[in-house]
Amino acid sequence: MGAFNTIAFDANKCDGCGDCMTACATAKTGTTEISRSRLQIAGNAAEGFELALCRQCGDPKCVTVCPAGALGKDYASGVIDWNGDKCVDCLLCTVGCAYAGIALDEASGRVAKCDMCDGSPACVSACPHDALKLVTTSRIYNEVGDWEDLFAPGLAGCQGCNTELLMRHTLRRVGPDTVLATPPGCVPGMGSVGFNGTTGTKVPVFHPLLTNTAPMLAGVKRHYKRIGREVTALAIAGDGGASDVGFQSLSGAAERNEQILFMVVDNEGYMNTGMQRSSCTPYGAWTSTTPVGQGTGSGGLPSQGKTQDAKNLPLIMVNHRCEYVATASTAYMEDLYDKLDKAIAASKRGFAYLHVYSPCTTGWRFPTDQNMEVARKAVETNFVMLWEYTRAGGLRFTRPVDEPLPVTDYLKAMGRFRHLSEDQISHIQGKVVENLNFVKQMAHRA
């Protein structure tokens, strides 16, 4: 069990049956008295259910307030342990906890709390509705938390941008024996390569041209391979350079199966230079070169945002039969981490391509605290699909969304789509279905 795992509760799936409490009481007290269960479900079907349970906090208040040292966080197991020999029964812990995670067990006259059942909680397996889940997403924190952050603190990204998050996590994972290419765009714009003699990166880093990231990096990798040195060649590039002006060189490097990991941070436009349209910009989106006005836009069509659909760059990369191709989202870090691991391994054999959707709070026009929500809605509506491709396994969905939300749930979260007409919205909804069916067919064939 990871050191910071927890039990998550989905109130929408709970019907209040109480099986979890019975299971807990049985496991911990040998009775079926649900009042003795260490988790408690409160509420009713009309108003919804709530969970009272220890979250095994990283910075637990119960431990802080205990005057007797009876509570302590075990950093190996992650569980907050209660020591009955030390406890003075003052109940301060029950006041300190905001989750009602520790409470008086009247039958024994002492406090009781969840101990995670040695990693396989009885409540989770007892729940017939999947409302309880043992969540291990904190694996990222557990495993990567102590690894060196290879970017300096204080990169100059826009407020609310998650590309910095992506950069830091990626480089921690890849490690110090790396040469990093960050072509012109947001990533060097926030100081990864630096200005006038200062740099934000602790590994060798360079500005390729917007057009030659892949071949320049391939040259670096090839020579280290020739002289017998193991060096990871990593690009963190934008969608514009990769899908437009640098596409030829990207395609060439993929065809030659150069041993590099090419990550595209897709914010659907040239956001660093002022939010201009790229071929990855979706249909209908306002950008500074597809503005909204009374006249006509590209192709003589009404000037109501981009008049063409987005190029699907990751699918094009699949058709290069790369060692590995995947799409990812910063709202699904567990998924992203799995793919990062596979991409790193694949880049030792050949070309690995990772396409990460990264909402742009500045260019897409949404509040700076909404980045994860926008990223999540993109996936929940199937506007963005998360999948991976290998030569052996073909294409498969890694987080299929079987009951997608209407695309308007995604579109309405952003100012760049504010002007859309009903016709434009139905065009986009139609495209979502078309794209989904296309990828599904590829997945079935695999």
Q: Phi and psi at residue 430, in whole multiples of 5°? A: -65, -40
Does the protein bind other proteins through residue 349 (CB under 8 A)?
no
Q: Which of 206, 367, 401, 427 binds other proteins (CB under 8 A)?
A: 206
**305 near other proteins (CB under 8 A):** no
* Closest C-alpha among 81, 123, 125 to residue 102: 81
Contact between 316 and other proteins by CB under 8 A: the answer reads no
Provide, rounded to whole angstroms, the least separation between the CB of residue 305 and other proteins: 31
> Tokens 């391509």 appear where?
353
| Cβ atoms of 382 and 432 closer than 8 Å | yes
Burial 327-345 (b: 16+ CB within 10 A, else e): bbbbbbbebbbebbebbbe
Interaction of residue 186 with other proteins, rule CB under 8 A: no
CB of 439 to other proteins, least distance (A): 27
Chain position carrying tokens 């065809």: 255
Q: Is the distance from CB of 200 to CB of 168 less than 8 angstroms?
A: no
Smaller CB distance to other proteins: residue 192 or 362? 192
Nearer to other proteins, 56 or 212 (CB): 212
Q: Does 202 bind other proteins (CB under 8 A)?
A: yes
Which of 13, 222, 342, 427 binds other proteins (CB under 8 A)? It is: 222
Partners of 112 in beta bridges? 103
Stretch in the footprint of other proteins (CB under 8 A) among 97-105, 202-210, 385-393, 394-402: 202-210
Using a 10 angstrom Cβ sphere, with 0-12 exposed, 13-18 middle and 19 or more buried, the burial of residue 273 is: middle
Answer for which of 140, 205, 336, 356 binds other proteins (CB under 8 A) is 205
Least CB distance from residue 177 to other proteins, whole Å? 5
Rg of the Cα atoms in the chain:
25
Number of residues that bind other proteins (CB under 8 A): 44
Contact between 152 and other proteins by CB under 8 A: the answer reads: no
Residues 231-250 that bind other proteins (CB under 8 A): 231, 248-249
> 419: alpha, beta or left, given left = phi > 0 and alpha = psi -120 to 50?
alpha
Does the footprint of other proteins cover residue 179 (CB under 8 A)? Answer: yes
Nearest to residue 129, comparing CAs of 55, 56, 41, 57?
41
CA angle (419, 423, 427) in 5-degree steps: 100
Minimum distance from residue 201 beta carbon to other proteins (Å): 6
Q: How far is the CB of 172 from other proteins (least distance, A)?
A: 15
Q: Which stretch binds other proteins (CB under 8 A): 27-35, 76-84, 194-202, 287-295?
A: 194-202
Helix (H) or strand (E) holding 242: helix 239-243
Q: Select from 55, 133, 168, 256 the one that contacts other proteins (CB under 8 A).
A: 256
Long-range contacts, 113-116 (Cβ 8 Å, 24+): 113/38, 113/54, 113/62, 113/80, 113/82, 114/7, 114/24, 114/38, 114/39, 114/53, 114/54, 114/56, 115/79, 115/81, 115/82, 116/1, 116/5, 116/7, 116/56, 116/77, 116/78, 116/79
* Binding residue for other proteins, selected from 153, 226, 392, 393, defined by CB under 8 A: 226
Give the pair of three-digit tokens for residue 130: 């999947």
3-state secondary structure of 71: strand
Please identify, using beta-carbon distances, which residue of 144 and 231 lies nearer to other proteins.
231
Q: 121 or 215: whose CB is closer to other proteins?
A: 215
Beta bridge partners of 325: 353, 389
Least Å distance, CB 276 to other proteins, is: 20
Residue 200 beta carbon to other proteins: minimum distance, rounded to whole angstroms: 8
Out of 92, 165, 209, 405, name the contact with other proteins by CB under 8 A.
209
Piece in contact with other proteins (CB under 8 A), picked from 222-230, 313-321, 365-373, 418-426:
222-230
| Angstrom distance (rounded) from CA 57 to CA 66 | 15
CB of 248 to other proteins, least distance (A): 6
Specify the stretch interacting with other proteins by CB under 8 A; choose among 15-23, 131-139, 210-218, 369-377.
210-218
Q: What share of the chain is helix, strand, coil (3-state, %, to 5)?
A: 35, 20, 45
- Residue closer to other proteins (CB basis): 231 or 405: 231
In the block, tokens 């095994």 appear at 56
The nearest distance, CB 289 to other proteins, in angstroms, is 22
Q: Which residues are at the interface with other proteins (CB under 8 A)?
A: 176-179, 188, 193-199, 201-209, 211-212, 214-224, 226-227, 231, 248-249, 251-253, 255-256
